[in-house]
Amino acid sequence: MDRKIRVGILGAAGYTGGELIRLLLNHPMAEIVFANSESNAGNPVCEVHEGLDGDTDLRFTDTMPWEQVDVVFFCFGHGKSRAFLQEHDIPPHVRIIDLAQDFRIAGDHDYVYGLPETHRQQTAGAMHLANPGCFATCIQLALLPALHGGLISGDIHVNGITGSTGAGQKPGATTHFSWRHDNISVYKTFTHQHLLEINQTIREILPEYDGRVLFIPQRGCFARGIFVTAYARCETPIELVRQAYADYYRDAAFTHFVTKSPDLKQVVNTNKAVVYVEKYEDQLLMICCIDNLLKGAVGQAVQNMNLMFGLDEKAGLCLKASAF
């Protein structure tokens, strides 16, 4: 584009809204036109999203001037996007990037599932885009090369641990500091909602795949990040598996195959995904880690915005890892 992309943000007062504002303030080709939050209308954004003092004079608004924007980000809680669209008419020229789960499963809508590593071309031409879930992103990036190469079979066993920001900004019993600190627990065992989109991708790649994804999510004692370990049956020598992974992610903008077992701090505060594999007899271990608020949410959303508007995929996303 020969001018900056004009952006509107809905649900701008939550964790994802705050992260999105931080990214877009430093994006060379984006301009925030409005940050909508009815409960905070009129208040400075930096009063809610601390750390933005001196960076912006932007205030929350309860208005939505559609005619002034090119794209709008939905940073709602799950289930609210469909309801919002039933009550509001967004002009057809305005692109929509939805960070909730409302349109991730194919159905009675035209939303493209926006995982760049699998749907890059569709994303580039999309008017409406469903941004993948955080666990779904991390798990799929661990599995994709193995699925594409037909390297694994049978049930896929997955463990994933996530930071407290994955539960959203609204306080709850399992996000309270005194409960979360020095603690760990499992939740939604084998039933997590992101399994729907993971299985959808598996069926797209390998319709005949007959294994199950057996996923145990865990709450971790840290603020941000996701660390996933997965394993499944594999008869292929590890050297060929590693080559398949290296080849698959060779041209990926943010997903990197590594030959040393990774740790979470390599990706926290970045839009990177780091992927590693190892073989134990007939079992292939696949590891992936991401920042749940960035590659698992708004970082990937901005990456998708870049693709939708024909920009450099990395624009506004060259971020420093929290290495120590």
* b/e map 63-101, b = 16+ CB within 10 Å: eeebeebbbbbbbbeeebbeebbeeeebeeebbbbbbbb
- Are 202 and 177 a contacting pair, CB within 8 Å? no
Residue 175 dihedral angles phi and psi, to the nearest 5°: -115, -10
165/181 Cα distance (integer angstroms): 13
State the Cα–Cα distance between residues 77 and 193, nearest whole angstrom: 14
Burial of 31 (0-12, 13-18, 19+ CB in 10 A): middle
- Among candidate residues 158, 192, 195, 165, the one with its CA nearest the CA of residue 180: 165
Q: What is the DSSP letter of 266?
A: G
Amino acid residing at 288: C
**20 is written with which tokens?**
């999105």
Catalytic residue among 134, 138, 234, 289: 134
Q: Which of 277, 295, 273, 294 is nearest to 286 (CA)?
A: 277
Strands 226-233 and 153-162: antiparallel
| Kind plus residue range of the DSSP H or E element containing 83 | helix 80-87
**Partners of 250 in beta bridges:** none
Q: Which residue is listed with tokens 């930071």?
A: 163
Q: Is 138 a catalytic residue?
A: no
Query: Are 82 and 108 in contact, with CB atoms under 8 Å apart?
Result: no
User: Which residues are marked as active site?
Assistant: 134
